[in-house]
């Protein structure tokens, strides 16, 4: 039975190429800093890869986690744990603030434990069976980040792991919204995690010609909406939110960042990697988010775009925005600074969207020197823009035609 509870966000956590927590990441975004740098891993030279840049974590997880714990987790699980602990603490929760039967965890990932899989295969090839870790499967499975976060907080209402490519983190938030709205949970820890800056993904994306090769200017490589864009920059990180039933949060006196007012999901049915250039599926997801939020397109003042810095994808998204919302929203694209965090992108950028509403400021899109004339919308560039927002939408799209839109409103 649908109960239609309001869903509020009470805690935020992140670790990104711009900072080891939410506050540092947000400050760096507003300051116009880039998280992209030269990738000095030895395999870049060994395989003569054409892409030699990446958006690597600002703070290595091994500097944060206890040594024994870090060794037992894949890097994607490490970042999920760091972000989840920050969000849980930020929400003011403890062991007795929520019935564990009413607590759920949903953490998505696009690829999962790629580093573990590759490292363990190397050990097997070079040294044989006895060197392979008995924790290999729990470390490489895509539900690993969700499972470990669920164990951390003893969640028993459900632990889920959407795997929807670059829409995974946003889909986790959408799934959390549904669980609270239908009365399945009072509190959901949700978001996305990704850490796969390793040889196979970089080689594969390179062969697909989806990544920037601006190796001589790493900080300028990710250029959403710019006429000089030539592909995305692979990044890593995690973003986690604590979402709650509004009356439950109010009863415990929790601070509230804002409302996840509505969500929309759809699929393109068009191509495994390319978006529908007409933006039809993306527009349906955005329209659904507004409908479930009870918003009119005129209410939306800002769209935090998925815009990855690919020639086709950036323009297709703006076509969808114009169809679903109109010409009036102010746009930005955090991937200019963060790179593309794949399965974590939608969750981290959902946090950015919420903070834009809270602080009344939209970060600039980094490296936007010459706006593509096909965009035909107002994109923040040069410096942050102060604006009062009554509603904002966060877009997230993924290979396979996965589309997710999240509508946020103030507390």
Report CA-CA distances (Å) from 41 to 44, 338, 351: 6, 19, 30
- Among residues 166, 196, 198, 305, the one annotated as catalytic is 166
Give the whole-angstrom CA distance, residue 213 versus residue 221: 8
Q: At 176, is the secondary structure helix, strand, or coil? A: helix
Residue 396 half-sphere exposure, CB side, CA atoms within 13 Å? 39
The secondary structure of 57-121 as a DSSP string is: -SS-GGGTS-HHHHHTS-HHHHHHHHHHHHHHHHTT--TTSS-GGGEEEEEE-SS-SHHHHHHHH
CB 233 within 8 A of CB 212: yes
Give the whole-angstrom CA distance, residue 411 versus residue 396: 23
198 catalytically annotated:
no
CB 158 within 8 A of CB 75: no
Task: Kindly give, in sequence order, each residue whose CB lies less than 8 Å from that of residue 155, ignoring residues fewer than 6 positions away.
Answer: 100, 103, 104, 105, 149, 189
Report CA-CA distances (Å) from 66 to 61, 63, 83, 286: 9, 8, 15, 41
DSSP 8-state secondary structure symbol assigned to residue 166? G
CB atoms within 10 A of CB 54: 26
Report strand pairing: 302-304 vs 330-332: parallel
- Hey, which residues are catalytic here? 166
């Amino acid at each position: 039975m649908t109960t239609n509870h309001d869903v509020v966000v009470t805690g935020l956590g992140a670790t990104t190429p711009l900072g080891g927590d939410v506050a540092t990441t947000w400050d760096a975004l507003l300051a116009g800093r880039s998280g992209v740098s030269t990738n000095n891993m030895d395999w870049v030279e060994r395989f003569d890869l054409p892409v030699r840049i990446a958006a690597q974590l600002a703070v290595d997880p091994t500097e944060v986690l206890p040594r024994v714990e870090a060794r037992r987790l894949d890097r994607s699980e490490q970042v999920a744990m760091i972000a989840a602990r920050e969000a849980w603490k930020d929400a003011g929760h403890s062991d007795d603030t929520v019935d564990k039967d009413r607590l759920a965890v949903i953490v998505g990932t696009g690829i999962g434990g790629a580093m573990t899989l590759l490292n363990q295969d190397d050990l097997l090839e070079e040294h044989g069976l006895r060197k392979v870790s008995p924790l290999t499967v729990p470390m490489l499975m895509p539900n690993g980040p969700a499972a470990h976060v669920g164990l951390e907080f003893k969640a028993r209402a459900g632990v889920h792991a959407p795997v929807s490519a670059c829409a995974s983190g946003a889909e986790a938030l959408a799934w959390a919204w549904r669980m609270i709205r239908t009365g399945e949970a009072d509190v959901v820890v949700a978001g996305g995690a990704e850490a796969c800056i390793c040889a196979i993904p970089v080689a594969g994306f390179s062969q697909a010609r989806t990544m920037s090769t601006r190796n001589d200017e790493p900080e300028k490589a990710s250029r959403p909406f710019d006429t000089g864009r030539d592909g995305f920059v692979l990044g890593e990180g995690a973003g986690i939110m604590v979402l709650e039933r509004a009356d439950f949060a109010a009863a415990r006196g929790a601070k509230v960042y804002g409302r996840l007012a509505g969500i929309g999901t759809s699929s393109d049915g068009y191509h495994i990697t390319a978006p529908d250039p007409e933006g039809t599926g993306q527009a349906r997801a955005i329209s659904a988010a507004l409908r479930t939020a009870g918003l009119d397109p005129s209410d939306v003042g800002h769209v935090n775009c998925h815009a990855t810095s690919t020639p086709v994808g950036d323009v297709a998204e703006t076509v969808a925005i114009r169809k679903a919302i109109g010409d009036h929203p102010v746009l930005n694209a955090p991937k200019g600074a963060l790179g593309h965090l794949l399965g974590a992108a939608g969750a981290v950028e959902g946090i950015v969207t919420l903070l834009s509403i809270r602080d009344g400021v939209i970060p600039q899109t980094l490296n936007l020197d010459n706006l593509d004339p096909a965009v035909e919308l107002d994109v923040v560039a040069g410096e942050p823009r102060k604006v009062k927002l009554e509603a904002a939408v966060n877009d997230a799209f993924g290979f396979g035609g996965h589309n997710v839109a999240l509508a946020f409103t103030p507390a």
